[in-house]
Amino acid sequence: MADRPRRPRLRRTLLAALVTFAVAVPVSGAARPEAVPAPAPTVTGPLRDASPAVLEERYAVSRSDIRAAGRAADAHGDRKRAESLRAMAAAGRQFLSFDGRDGGRSVEVVGELTSARRIAVLVPGAGVGLDAYGRLRHGMTALREELGEGTAVLAWLGYRSPATVSPAALTTGRADEAAPGLRALVDEVRAVRPAARISLLCHSYGSVICAQSASGTAADALVLYGSPGVGAQNVAALRTGARVWAGRGGDDWIARVPHVRVRVPFVATVGFGTDPVAEEFGAEVFDAGDSGHSDYLLRGSRSLTNLARIVAGAEPLGASR
């Protein structure tokens, strides 16, 4: 009992050490993803029509923009970016939008948005970008396979994702910037598919973005998984009518992140507060099995099964609260 008062101080010390480490990580010689040049994309405007002809036209425009960005990456000498973009521009890929500048922004669709009755929007966390887009693609295709017909999965890469170990990954700054774009996308999808069930699947730092966009969201469900916290004390603070779920795998290192918010003078407020799977947060907790931090959408996993069930409007399997 004697050491209990020291725990808040210990957590603050751990956070301070993490900030120091993040600032001190050597990055000399590493090209910043946002430094790779790309041409301005074709202006397509908001999504107002989900008819097959309109969607095919948007997909074709985005494919052309991706190829142009790939040529620019090749000319810049960034083979990794160019290779990733060539894969993204392959026949059959469906991008509602693409912008290769400033690290890259995109919205990809797997499935038929025109007729989808269940729609999932994946919101990725830190360390995801055009260079590592394959991970996001694998996850969305696995989820679509689990969901089956009558569904669509959108991968929303709509912000400059912070590096996993960086000061930006410890504050809500990037999430504050990204939230309006996510809210706008959900509004557009709701407008073209008004009767569909829409779920936001928010991984890691992506859960912070979802929380910032939760108030007034047109989504039916908000699913926070592998979350470090969302910058809100509890579900009530999100001011959302969406059903809020939370889950964390048994092998996810994020469980060891201190769930505090600390004001660092002259820097920012660091940390994201209450653990979303804690009872006091107030979310409905689903069984995510033994998933590691990057494993929630692995084929055959309990986490993928339950995420798909939530998207479909069914209750998840196993223990929940």
Share of the chain above pLDDT 70, in %: 88
**310 contacts: CB under 8 Å, gap ≥ 6:** 199, 221, 223, 245, 286, 316
Give one word for 247, left, alpha or beta, with left for phi > 0 and alpha for psi -120 to 50: beta
Question: Residue range 118-129: average pLDDT?
Answer: 94
pLDDT in the model for residue 319: 64
Q: Is the pLDDT of residue 20 over 70?
A: no
pLDDT in the model for residue 31: 46
pLDDT in the model for residue 11: 52
Query: What mean pLDDT, rounded, does the chain reach?
Result: 89
| Residue, of 225 and 18, whose pLDDT is higher | 225
Asked which of 17-31, 41-55, 112-126, 188-202 is least confident by mean pLDDT, the reply is 17-31
Annotation: CATH topology of 47-312: Rossmann fold (3.40.50)
Q: Could you report the per-residue pLDDT of 144-203, keeping only the tens digit for each? A: 999 999 999 999 999 988 777 777 777 878 888 999 999 999 999 999 999 999 999 999
* CA distance between the termini of the chain: 29
pLDDT in the model for residue 33: 64
pLDDT in the model for residue 186: 98
Measured distance CA(2)–CA(36) in Å, rounded: 54
Asked which of 16-25, 105-114, 130-139, 203-212 is least confident by mean pLDDT, the reply is 16-25
pLDDT in the model for residue 163: 76
Q: Is the pLDDT of residue 236 over 50?
A: yes
pLDDT in the model for residue 32: 61
Q: Is the pLDDT of residue 207 over 90?
A: yes
Asked which of 9-13, 31-35, 75-79, 268-272 is least confident by mean pLDDT, the reply is 9-13
pLDDT in the model for residue 28: 32
pLDDT in the model for residue 272: 85
- Hey, which bits of 80-175 come out as E strands? 94-99, 105-111, 118-123, 151-157
Tokens 């669509």 -> residue: 152
> Which sign, positive or negative, has the C-alpha torsion 199, 202, 208, 209?
negative
In the chain, where are the structural domains located? Answer: 47-312
Q: Identify the bridge partners of residue 224 per DSSP, sorted by sequence position.
A: 202, 246
Q: Could you report the per-residue pLDDT of 86-122, keeping only the tens digit for each? A: 999 999 999 999 999 999 999 999 999 999 999 999 9
Model confidence at 8, in pLDDT bands (50, 70, 90)? low
Question: Residue range 227-234: average pLDDT?
Answer: 94
